[in-house]
Amino acid sequence: MPLHNLSHPTPRTSARIFFALRLLLFCVALCAAGRAQTPAPTPTAEDDEVLNVRTDLVTVPVFVTDSRGRRVAGLQSADFGVRADNRPVEITYFAAGTSRVALVFALDASGSAREHIGRQRAAALSLLSQFGKGSRVAVLAFADTQDFALPFSTDIERAPAAFQIKARDNRRTAIFDAALAAALAFDEGKADRAERRIVILLSDGLDTASKTRAPAVIAEAVRRGVSFYVLHLPLYTPRWNGLAVRRPANGFRTLADRTGGKYFLLGNEKQALDPDPNYDLTPVFRAIADDLQSQYVLGFYADESARAAGEHKLEVRLVDKKNSRLRVHTLRERFNLNVP
């Protein structure tokens, strides 16, 4: 095309340019109309759920036994019904079995337990080996008073050193005071909602100084979902032609029976005379393993009335009639949102 045609377009060229401009303006108008008719995005229900984070989840650990007292595993969320203050609530959290454990070793350091110090340490070390690195562990030593050789820690490698307790000379024993301190210790630190809370109490069972009694300990333990595993290292007294176990304090065994744990009498008359007895802890290992595998944790969100101050009653039942012969053991009978 000659250069002069660019400065002086022909009529045919002008028509083409005019048509292209009209087409361009039409497209621009069409896009603008489309944008005007498209509504702005609105938040969805899912967006609301993400933004409104609930912090009032109440968890209830339970276990179920059959008519022979054996733990029952394999149940589902639909098998349970939960009531708070006698009103049904919706189960929004469910876990069967747990590997997360918060564990307090309560070791008797009183004068009467002097001969059992080494035995307690060996038993505690063996039991500790059964728990994973995700566990929280604390070690409490007690005589007439108690103190934590190791506050709660996820570094379980620190626990063996804390087991190196020494017997306290001429000290009386306050088992139930120590048991209460162990139960209350679960209020400290950040707890996992699905963790299993256990106190392993090793003692000769002779309480001579406690201001607290077993029912008070049991009430606080149940309130927090804490179970006591009581390992009785007995003292013996001569009787007839042999030895007999000295009777422990009233309520010593009940700590286990009423909190969902178990009681074990370690050793026998022959081992009582052995300076270095080898206790068979297999039943203890098995009981704790069964405990962890057969525990259920049910959770629900508290409503307005349940968020009120004070304690609220919990009740858990099995809803299917086919499970009528099974028994639910609720390890947390009351809750208070101000208490972990």
Q: Say which residues have a Cβ less than 8 Å from residue 37's Cβ, sequence separation at least 6.
A: none
Residues 58 and 203 in one domain: no
Mean per-residue pLDDT for 142-147?
93
Which of 113-122, 213-222, 278-287 has the highest average model confidence (pLDDT)? 213-222
pLDDT tens digits, residue range 156-179? 889 999 999 888 876 789 999 999
What pLDDT is stored for residue 90 in this prediction? 93
Q: Say which residues have a Cβ less than 8 Å from residue 288's Cβ, sequence separation at least 6.
A: 127, 130, 198, 229
Q: What is the CATH number of the domain that holds 158?
A: 3.40.50.410
Residues 111 and 236 in one domain: yes
Look at the block and give the residue holding tokens 């120590």. Answer: 178
DSSP 122: H
pLDDT band at 184 (very low <50, low <70, confident <90, very high): very high
Residue 272 CB neighbours (<10 A): 15
Residues 33 and 66 in one domain: no
**Is the pLDDT at 212 greater than 70, yes or no?**
yes
Q: What is the pTM of this model?
A: 0.70
Q: Is 179 exposed, middle or buried (0-12, 13-18, 19+ CB in 10 A)?
A: buried
- Could you tell me where the DSSP H helices lie in the chain? 4-7, 11-37, 45-51, 117-128, 159-162, 175-184, 214-223, 254-257, 269-272, 282-294
What pLDDT is stored for residue 305 in this prediction? 67
pLDDT tens digits, residue range 5-17? 334 444 444 444 4
Candidate from 99-108, 132-141, 147-156, 272-281 with smallest mean pLDDT:
272-281
Residues 110 and 73 in one domain: no
Residues 158 and 241 in one domain: yes
Q: Which domain holds residue 284?
A: 101-294
| Mean of per-residue pLDDT scores for the chain | 79
For the record, the structure tokens of 226 come out as 């804490």
Q: State how many domains the chain has.
A: 3
pLDDT band at 129 (very low <50, low <70, confident <90, very high): confident
**Is the pLDDT at 317 greater than 90, yes or no?**
yes
- Return the axis-axis angle of helices 175-184 and 214-223, rounded to nearest 10°: 10
Contact 227, 294 (CB under 8 A): no
Contact 256, 179 (CB under 8 A): no
Residues 160 and 194 in one domain: yes
Residues 192 and 166 in one domain: yes
What pLDDT is stored for residue 325 in this prediction? 87
pLDDT tens digits, residue range 302-311? 877 666 667 8
